[in-house]
Amino acid sequence: MLDSPHRRFNPLTREWVLVSPHRARRPWQGQVEKTPSATLPQYDPTCYLCPRNERAGGVSNPDYSGTFVFENDFAALLPDESTENHASGHPLLVALPERGICRVVCFSPRHDLTLPELDIPAIENVLTTWTRESADLASKDFIQYVQVFENKGAVMGCSNPHPHSQLWSQSQIPTEIAKELAAQTAYFNEHGRPLLLDYVREEQKRRERLLVVNDHFTALVPFWAVWPFEVMVVGHRPTAALSDLNPAEISALADVFKQVTTLYDNLFEISFPYSMGFHQAPADGQPHPEWVLHAHFYPPLLRSATVRKFMVGYEMLAMPQRDITPESAAERLRALSPVHYKQR
């Protein structure tokens, strides 16, 4: 394990991260976060995501019993073509129209149950819903990419504690996907194998960053991780999208998601905040043999439930930097109980 300052290369984005392990020992007198509420009601009459409650514009939710999907009431992208003139008359001032469709997926009618507190069949239902909605959005003739993501916790900007996720689909390939597409395509063209499959095989040999492994998926702290307890979940075969998974793989992925999110909650014994998202191949109608379906978990907490990592200063102006090594983060997560702290 390297304990001196060094850089690590991310082959997925072809970018570098600075690792400074000695900085983890510095005293902290900065901002302290509020810990999230320990208990939430099963149903909140004021929540606009709970069953039977009213959303924006007077729309009422159905009395749903499983997942619930609806078009985002405050969508960042709109499906209709814009007639607005975006021309600026200068090559350094470029603006182009962007179309898309945004949806919300509530995990269950329960206001108080996050992913690690759901049972495996319920998590499978969430995955199946993401799969169905991704495929439906990708079938639209103007959609080039579908992003599935969850922002968990107020510290990650989540505006409603009712466990939910989102799908944003758009007419152009977004920046992070374009970087991963270029890197994976270049690697595949040179080696004839998917980058992420080679990477997972190497991690399985070394084992020091592994968290959860089953027949179909591996969860690990990436060698190039930026966030303190970042995790990546990677499939064991080339799959361009969620819709490529078979039922056994959906079950295996549900098991990995439950284990990873349980470890997160057990780390500081709170409902652990993060941003999670699947990276699927572009929905451009082209084959993508270079692509392996994977999910990224980006959690902000660093030392405790109240101290988080800030991406400011050097990180914003120069390059990402982390204070604890990915190996030490994986070691801490592996040492935790697999049983959720609320159920002990």
Residue 30 lies in a domain: no
- What percentage of the chain has pLDDT greater than the value 90? 85
| pLDDT tier for residue 29 given thresholds of 50, 70 and 90 | very low
The CATH number covering residue 216 comes to 3.30.428.10
Asked whether residue 342 is domain-assigned, the answer is no
Would you say residue 113 lies in a domain? yes
Q: Residue 218's pLDDT band (boundaries 50, 70, 90)?
A: very high
Contact partners, residue 297, CB within 8 Å, separation at least 6:
230, 231, 232, 233, 260, 264, 274, 275, 276
Mean pLDDT of the chain: 94
86 domain residue, yes or no? no
Determine, yes or no, domain membership for 18.
no
d(CA 61, CA 156) in angstroms, rounded, equals 25
Q: Is 160 buried (19+), middle (13-18) or exposed (0-12) by CB count in 10 A? A: middle
**Sheet containing 100-106: order of strands:** 68-71, 100-106, 164-170, 145-152, 274-279, 294-298, 231-235, 217-220, 210-213
- H-type alpha helices, the chain: 120-138, 175-191, 195-206, 247-268, 314-317, 326-334
The number of folded domains in the chain is 1
Domain that holds residue 147: 36-80+92-337
pLDDT tens digits along 223-278: 999 999 999 999 999 999 999 999 999 999 999 999 999 999 999 999 999 999 99
Residue 34: pLDDT over 90: no
pTM: 0.95
Query: 15 in a domain, yes or no?
Result: no
Q: Which residues are catalytic?
A: 164
Q: How much is the average pLDDT of 105-113?
A: 98
**List of residues 6+ apart from 289 with CB closer than 8 A:** 188, 194, 238
The answer to the question of residue 85 being in a domain is no
Is residue 240 assigned to a domain?
yes
